[in-house]
Amino acid sequence: MTRQNTPAPLTEIWRGSLLESQHHGHAVVCNGKGEIVHSWGNPDQVIYPRSSCKMVQALPLLTSGAAARYGLNSEQLALACASHNGARIHVDRVSRWLDQLELSEGDLRCGAQMPRDKEVMHGLIKTDDSPCQIHNNCSGKHAGFLTLAQHLGAGPEYVEIDHPVQQACHEAFEEVTGETSPTYGIDGCSAPNFACTVTGLARGMGWFASAHTRSTRSDEAAVQLRAAMAQHPELVAGEGRACTALMRDMGGKVSVKTGAEGVFVAILPEQELGIALKVSDGATRAAENAIAALLVSLGVLDKDSPSAKAYMSAAITNWNGIHCGEMRPAAELQF
Protein backbone atom coordinates (compact mmCIF):
# COMPACT_ATOMS: atom_id res chain seq x y z
CA MET A 1 0.00 0.00 0.00
CA THR A 2 1.53 3.31 -0.96
CA ARG A 3 -1.38 5.72 -1.05
CA GLN A 4 -4.63 6.48 0.77
CA ASN A 5 -7.66 5.74 -1.38
CA THR A 6 -9.51 8.96 -2.27
CA PRO A 7 -9.78 10.78 1.05
CA ALA A 8 -12.55 13.39 1.19
CA PRO A 9 -12.20 17.10 2.09
CA LEU A 10 -12.72 17.56 5.83
CA THR A 11 -11.34 20.89 6.98
CA GLU A 12 -10.33 24.17 5.35
CA ILE A 13 -7.88 26.73 6.73
CA TRP A 14 -8.57 30.19 5.34
CA ARG A 15 -6.36 33.27 5.70
CA GLY A 16 -7.76 36.43 4.16
CA SER A 17 -9.45 35.42 0.90
CA LEU A 18 -7.18 32.41 0.26
CA LEU A 19 -7.65 28.74 1.15
CA GLU A 20 -4.22 28.38 2.78
CA SER A 21 -4.33 24.71 3.79
CA GLN A 22 -6.78 21.83 3.56
CA HIS A 23 -7.22 18.52 5.33
CA HIS A 24 -8.68 15.36 3.83
CA GLY A 25 -9.67 12.07 5.41
CA HIS A 26 -12.22 9.36 5.99
CA ALA A 27 -15.32 9.36 8.19
CA VAL A 28 -18.06 6.82 8.83
CA VAL A 29 -21.29 6.89 10.85
CA CYS A 30 -22.64 3.43 11.79
CA ASN A 31 -25.87 2.40 13.46
CA GLY A 32 -26.20 -0.17 16.22
CA LYS A 33 -26.36 -3.01 13.71
CA GLY A 34 -23.00 -1.99 12.29
CA GLU A 35 -24.52 -0.65 9.08
CA ILE A 36 -23.03 2.43 7.45
CA VAL A 37 -25.44 5.37 7.67
CA HIS A 38 -23.10 8.04 6.26
CA SER A 39 -19.54 7.96 4.93
CA TRP A 40 -16.92 10.29 3.49
CA GLY A 41 -13.68 9.20 1.82
CA ASN A 42 -12.80 5.52 1.95
CA PRO A 43 -14.73 3.56 4.62
CA ASP A 44 -12.37 0.60 4.10
CA GLN A 45 -9.24 2.57 4.92
CA VAL A 46 -7.16 0.65 7.47
CA ILE A 47 -6.09 2.85 10.36
CA TYR A 48 -4.74 2.73 13.88
CA PRO A 49 -7.44 4.02 16.25
CA ARG A 50 -4.68 5.08 18.67
CA SER A 51 -6.19 6.49 21.89
CA SER A 52 -9.67 6.75 20.39
CA CYS A 53 -10.28 3.08 21.27
CA LYS A 54 -9.42 3.32 24.96
CA MET A 55 -13.03 2.49 25.88
CA VAL A 56 -12.59 -0.76 23.91
CA GLN A 57 -9.31 -1.50 25.71
CA ALA A 58 -11.16 -0.94 29.00
CA LEU A 59 -13.89 -3.51 28.27
CA PRO A 60 -11.97 -6.53 29.69
CA LEU A 61 -11.41 -4.60 32.92
CA LEU A 62 -15.18 -4.85 33.44
CA THR A 63 -16.12 -8.09 31.69
CA SER A 64 -13.41 -9.98 33.61
CA GLY A 65 -14.96 -8.95 36.92
CA ALA A 66 -11.84 -6.97 37.89
CA ALA A 67 -13.65 -3.63 38.13
CA ALA A 68 -16.30 -5.07 40.44
CA ARG A 69 -13.74 -6.91 42.57
CA TYR A 70 -11.69 -3.75 43.13
CA GLY A 71 -14.80 -1.58 43.46
CA LEU A 72 -13.73 0.82 40.71
CA ASN A 73 -15.90 3.94 40.61
CA SER A 74 -17.06 5.92 37.57
CA GLU A 75 -14.11 8.31 37.93
CA GLN A 76 -11.69 5.42 37.58
CA LEU A 77 -13.58 4.08 34.55
CA ALA A 78 -13.41 7.53 32.93
CA LEU A 79 -9.67 7.67 33.62
CA ALA A 80 -9.21 4.22 32.07
CA CYS A 81 -10.63 5.73 28.84
CA ALA A 82 -8.71 9.01 29.15
CA SER A 83 -5.90 10.84 27.37
CA HIS A 84 -5.58 13.30 30.21
CA ASN A 85 -3.68 16.54 30.73
CA GLY A 86 -1.75 15.34 33.78
CA ALA A 87 -3.55 17.94 35.90
CA ARG A 88 -3.92 17.42 39.65
CA ILE A 89 -7.41 15.95 39.21
CA HIS A 90 -5.85 13.25 37.03
CA VAL A 91 -2.53 12.67 38.73
CA ASP A 92 -4.02 12.50 42.25
CA ARG A 93 -6.65 9.95 41.24
CA VAL A 94 -4.21 7.70 39.37
CA SER A 95 -1.81 7.85 42.35
CA ARG A 96 -4.58 6.76 44.71
CA TRP A 97 -5.58 4.00 42.27
CA LEU A 98 -2.02 2.63 42.30
CA ASP A 99 -2.06 2.82 46.14
CA GLN A 100 -5.29 0.82 46.11
CA LEU A 101 -3.50 -1.88 44.06
CA GLU A 102 -0.50 -1.69 46.43
CA LEU A 103 1.58 -0.78 43.39
CA SER A 104 3.71 2.25 42.59
CA GLU A 105 4.62 4.55 39.71
CA GLY A 106 7.44 2.18 38.73
CA ASP A 107 4.93 -0.55 37.91
CA LEU A 108 3.51 1.53 35.05
CA ARG A 109 4.93 0.90 31.57
CA CYS A 110 3.64 4.03 29.78
CA GLY A 111 6.83 6.10 30.13
CA ALA A 112 7.30 9.56 31.61
CA GLN A 113 5.69 12.50 29.77
CA MET A 114 5.68 16.20 30.54
CA PRO A 115 2.05 16.96 31.43
CA ARG A 116 0.06 19.33 29.26
CA ASP A 117 -1.60 20.95 32.29
CA LYS A 118 0.01 24.35 32.71
CA GLU A 119 -0.10 24.48 36.50
CA VAL A 120 1.51 21.06 36.98
CA MET A 121 4.00 21.61 34.15
CA HIS A 122 5.08 24.99 35.49
CA GLY A 123 5.36 23.48 38.97
CA LEU A 124 7.77 20.83 37.65
CA ILE A 125 9.80 23.46 35.77
CA LYS A 126 9.98 25.79 38.77
CA THR A 127 11.39 23.04 41.00
CA ASP A 128 13.63 21.57 38.25
CA ASP A 129 11.71 18.30 38.59
CA SER A 130 11.14 15.75 35.85
CA PRO A 131 7.71 14.35 35.02
CA CYS A 132 6.98 10.72 35.96
CA GLN A 133 4.83 7.99 34.41
CA ILE A 134 1.74 9.13 36.34
CA HIS A 135 1.90 12.39 34.34
CA ASN A 136 1.68 10.39 31.11
CA ASN A 137 -1.66 11.07 29.40
CA CYS A 138 -2.30 7.28 29.33
CA SER A 139 -1.64 6.58 33.01
CA GLY A 140 -5.34 5.93 33.70
CA LYS A 141 -5.51 3.32 30.95
CA HIS A 142 -2.38 1.73 32.37
CA ALA A 143 -3.81 1.72 35.90
CA GLY A 144 -6.71 -0.20 34.35
CA PHE A 145 -4.28 -2.61 32.68
CA LEU A 146 -2.51 -3.17 36.03
CA THR A 147 -5.85 -3.80 37.75
CA LEU A 148 -6.77 -6.43 35.17
CA ALA A 149 -3.28 -8.01 35.34
CA GLN A 150 -3.52 -8.26 39.11
CA HIS A 151 -7.04 -9.71 38.89
CA LEU A 152 -5.83 -12.31 36.39
CA GLY A 153 -2.69 -13.06 38.42
CA ALA A 154 -0.63 -12.25 35.32
CA GLY A 155 2.95 -10.94 35.15
CA PRO A 156 4.17 -7.35 35.34
CA GLU A 157 4.98 -6.82 31.64
CA TYR A 158 1.40 -6.05 30.78
CA VAL A 159 2.08 -4.21 27.50
CA GLU A 160 3.64 -7.21 25.77
CA ILE A 161 1.56 -8.51 22.87
CA ASP A 162 1.15 -12.03 24.33
CA HIS A 163 0.33 -10.86 27.88
CA PRO A 164 -3.17 -11.90 29.01
CA VAL A 165 -4.19 -8.24 29.33
CA GLN A 166 -3.34 -7.48 25.70
CA GLN A 167 -4.84 -10.76 24.52
CA ALA A 168 -8.08 -9.74 26.22
CA CYS A 169 -7.89 -6.29 24.59
CA HIS A 170 -7.28 -7.90 21.20
CA GLU A 171 -10.31 -10.15 21.61
CA ALA A 172 -12.56 -7.26 22.71
CA PHE A 173 -11.31 -5.13 19.82
CA GLU A 174 -12.14 -7.73 17.20
CA GLU A 175 -15.52 -8.40 18.82
CA VAL A 176 -16.72 -4.80 18.74
CA THR A 177 -15.20 -3.84 15.37
CA GLY A 178 -16.49 -7.04 13.78
CA GLU A 179 -13.16 -7.45 12.00
CA THR A 180 -10.01 -9.53 12.22
CA SER A 181 -7.32 -6.97 12.92
CA PRO A 182 -4.71 -7.18 10.14
CA THR A 183 -1.80 -5.82 12.17
CA TYR A 184 -0.86 -3.80 15.22
CA GLY A 185 1.53 -0.99 15.99
CA ILE A 186 3.26 0.07 19.19
CA ASP A 187 1.54 3.13 20.60
CA GLY A 188 3.10 6.17 22.29
CA CYS A 189 2.50 4.51 25.67
CA SER A 190 4.08 1.19 24.52
CA ALA A 191 0.81 -0.78 24.44
CA PRO A 192 -0.15 -2.57 21.22
CA ASN A 193 -2.65 -0.67 19.10
CA PHE A 194 -4.68 -2.90 16.81
CA ALA A 195 -5.54 -1.75 13.29
CA CYS A 196 -9.02 -1.82 11.78
CA THR A 197 -10.94 -0.05 9.04
CA VAL A 198 -12.62 3.29 9.68
CA THR A 199 -15.89 1.37 9.33
CA GLY A 200 -14.74 -1.16 11.92
CA LEU A 201 -14.05 1.62 14.39
CA ALA A 202 -17.40 3.30 13.64
CA ARG A 203 -19.11 -0.09 14.01
CA GLY A 204 -17.47 -0.43 17.43
CA MET A 205 -18.79 2.98 18.43
CA GLY A 206 -22.25 2.07 17.10
CA TRP A 207 -22.02 -1.10 19.24
CA PHE A 208 -21.24 1.05 22.30
CA ALA A 209 -24.08 3.43 21.40
CA SER A 210 -26.65 0.64 21.19
CA ALA A 211 -25.38 -1.45 24.12
CA HIS A 212 -28.36 -0.50 26.32
CA THR A 213 -30.63 -2.36 23.89
CA ARG A 214 -28.79 -5.63 24.61
CA SER A 215 -27.86 -7.40 27.82
CA THR A 216 -24.65 -9.41 27.69
CA ARG A 217 -21.82 -8.74 30.13
CA SER A 218 -19.99 -6.85 27.36
CA ASP A 219 -23.04 -4.70 26.70
CA GLU A 220 -23.36 -3.81 30.38
CA ALA A 221 -19.65 -2.93 30.45
CA ALA A 222 -20.10 -0.70 27.38
CA VAL A 223 -22.99 1.18 28.99
CA GLN A 224 -20.92 1.74 32.16
CA LEU A 225 -17.86 2.98 30.25
CA ARG A 226 -19.68 5.37 27.90
CA ALA A 227 -21.63 6.77 30.87
CA ALA A 228 -18.46 7.25 32.94
CA MET A 229 -16.87 9.23 30.09
CA ALA A 230 -19.92 11.45 29.60
CA GLN A 231 -20.32 11.94 33.35
CA HIS A 232 -16.67 13.02 33.90
CA PRO A 233 -15.62 14.96 30.80
CA GLU A 234 -12.86 16.73 32.75
CA LEU A 235 -11.23 13.38 33.59
CA VAL A 236 -11.23 12.11 29.98
CA ALA A 237 -9.02 15.01 28.78
CA GLY A 238 -8.97 18.27 30.77
CA GLU A 239 -9.34 22.04 30.55
CA GLY A 240 -8.82 23.47 27.07
CA ARG A 241 -9.27 20.13 25.36
CA ALA A 242 -11.82 19.25 22.67
CA CYS A 243 -13.07 15.99 24.27
CA THR A 244 -13.88 17.76 27.52
CA ALA A 245 -15.46 20.83 25.91
CA LEU A 246 -17.60 18.83 23.46
CA MET A 247 -18.89 16.39 26.11
CA ARG A 248 -19.71 19.26 28.49
CA ASP A 249 -21.69 21.06 25.79
CA MET A 250 -23.65 17.89 24.97
CA GLY A 251 -24.74 17.60 28.60
CA GLY A 252 -23.64 14.02 29.23
CA LYS A 253 -25.60 12.60 26.30
CA VAL A 254 -22.68 11.79 24.01
CA SER A 255 -19.19 10.35 24.67
CA VAL A 256 -16.31 11.41 22.42
CA LYS A 257 -12.62 10.53 22.30
CA THR A 258 -9.62 11.71 20.34
CA GLY A 259 -6.67 9.64 19.15
CA ALA A 260 -3.23 10.61 17.90
CA GLU A 261 -2.63 11.18 14.18
CA GLY A 262 -6.02 12.72 13.52
CA VAL A 263 -8.54 10.19 14.84
CA PHE A 264 -11.80 11.07 16.61
CA VAL A 265 -14.79 8.93 17.62
CA ALA A 266 -18.21 9.58 19.13
CA ILE A 267 -20.88 7.43 20.79
CA LEU A 268 -24.49 8.69 20.48
CA PRO A 269 -26.72 6.44 22.65
CA GLU A 270 -30.05 8.20 22.00
CA GLN A 271 -29.54 7.93 18.24
CA GLU A 272 -27.80 4.53 18.55
CA LEU A 273 -25.07 5.87 16.26
CA GLY A 274 -21.29 5.66 16.31
CA ILE A 275 -18.86 7.93 14.46
CA ALA A 276 -15.21 7.34 13.55
CA LEU A 277 -12.99 9.61 11.50
CA LYS A 278 -9.33 9.70 10.48
CA VAL A 279 -7.57 12.73 9.01
CA SER A 280 -5.19 11.31 6.39
CA ASP A 281 -2.35 13.65 7.30
CA GLY A 282 -2.75 13.03 11.04
CA ALA A 283 -3.72 16.59 12.04
CA THR A 284 -5.50 16.96 15.38
CA ARG A 285 -6.94 20.38 14.46
CA ALA A 286 -8.83 18.84 11.55
CA ALA A 287 -10.06 15.83 13.56
CA GLU A 288 -11.48 18.22 16.17
CA ASN A 289 -13.04 20.40 13.50
CA ALA A 290 -14.60 17.48 11.60
CA ILE A 291 -16.05 15.73 14.67
CA ALA A 292 -17.61 19.00 15.84
CA ALA A 293 -19.16 19.48 12.39
CA LEU A 294 -20.56 15.93 12.36
CA LEU A 295 -21.98 16.27 15.88
CA VAL A 296 -23.70 19.51 14.82
CA SER A 297 -25.00 17.87 11.62
CA LEU A 298 -26.36 14.91 13.60
CA GLY A 299 -28.21 17.33 15.90
CA VAL A 300 -26.45 16.54 19.19
CA LEU A 301 -24.21 19.64 19.42
CA ASP A 302 -25.61 23.17 19.27
CA LYS A 303 -23.80 25.13 16.57
CA ASP A 304 -23.78 28.17 18.88
CA SER A 305 -22.25 26.28 21.82
CA PRO A 306 -18.76 27.30 23.03
CA SER A 307 -17.14 24.09 21.76
CA ALA A 308 -18.72 24.38 18.30
CA LYS A 309 -17.43 27.96 18.10
CA ALA A 310 -13.99 26.89 19.31
CA TYR A 311 -13.52 23.83 17.12
CA MET A 312 -15.94 23.98 14.19
CA SER A 313 -15.82 27.63 13.13
CA ALA A 314 -12.56 28.56 14.79
CA ALA A 315 -11.11 32.02 14.38
CA ILE A 316 -7.37 32.13 13.62
CA THR A 317 -5.83 35.03 15.53
CA ASN A 318 -2.21 36.15 15.75
CA TRP A 319 0.17 37.29 18.51
CA ASN A 320 -1.56 40.65 18.61
CA GLY A 321 -5.02 39.06 18.78
CA ILE A 322 -5.82 40.22 15.24
CA HIS A 323 -8.29 38.02 13.31
CA CYS A 324 -6.29 36.58 10.37
CA GLY A 325 -8.55 33.83 9.14
CA GLU A 326 -10.58 30.84 10.19
CA MET A 327 -10.88 27.07 10.20
CA ARG A 328 -14.06 25.69 8.62
CA PRO A 329 -15.45 22.22 7.98
CA ALA A 330 -15.83 21.22 4.34
CA ALA A 331 -19.37 21.77 3.05
CA GLU A 332 -19.74 17.99 2.63
CA LEU A 333 -19.69 17.49 6.43
CA GLN A 334 -22.65 19.81 6.95
CA PHE A 335 -25.84 17.99 6.05
Q: Which residues bind a copy of itself (CB under 8 A)?
A: 1-4, 9, 12-13, 15-24, 46-48, 109-113, 122, 125-126, 136, 183-190, 195, 261-262, 279-283, 286, 318-322, 324-325, 331
Task: Return d(Cα 215, Cα 221) in angstroms, integer.
Answer: 10
Instruction: Give kind and range of the element (H or E) at residue 92.
Output: helix 88-100
Is the Cβ of residue 44 or residue 270 nearer to a copy of itself in the bound state? 44
Shortest approach of a copy of itself to residue 279 CB, angstroms? 8
Is the Cβ of residue 9 or residue 178 nearer to a copy of itself in the bound state? 9
Backbone phi, psi, residue 251, to 5°: 60, 35
> 83: Cβ–Cβ under 8 A, 6 or more apart, which residues?
51, 54, 137, 138, 236, 237, 243, 257, 258, 259
Is the Cβ of residue 12 or residue 75 nearer to a copy of itself in the bound state? 12
Cβ distance 214 to 279 under 8 Å?
A: no
Largest pairwise CA distance in the chain: 62
Backbone phi, psi, residue 67, to 5°: -60, -40
Shortest approach of a copy of itself to residue 90 CB, angstroms? 16
Shortest approach of a copy of itself to residue 190 CB, angstroms? 5
Cβ distance 26 to 278 under 8 Å?
A: yes
Is the Cβ of residue 222 or residue 286 nearer to a copy of itself in the bound state? 286
Shortest approach of a copy of itself to residue 50 CB, angstroms? 9
Is the Cβ of residue 70 or residue 184 nearer to a copy of itself in the bound state? 184
Shortest approach of a copy of itself to residue 126 CB, angstroms? 5
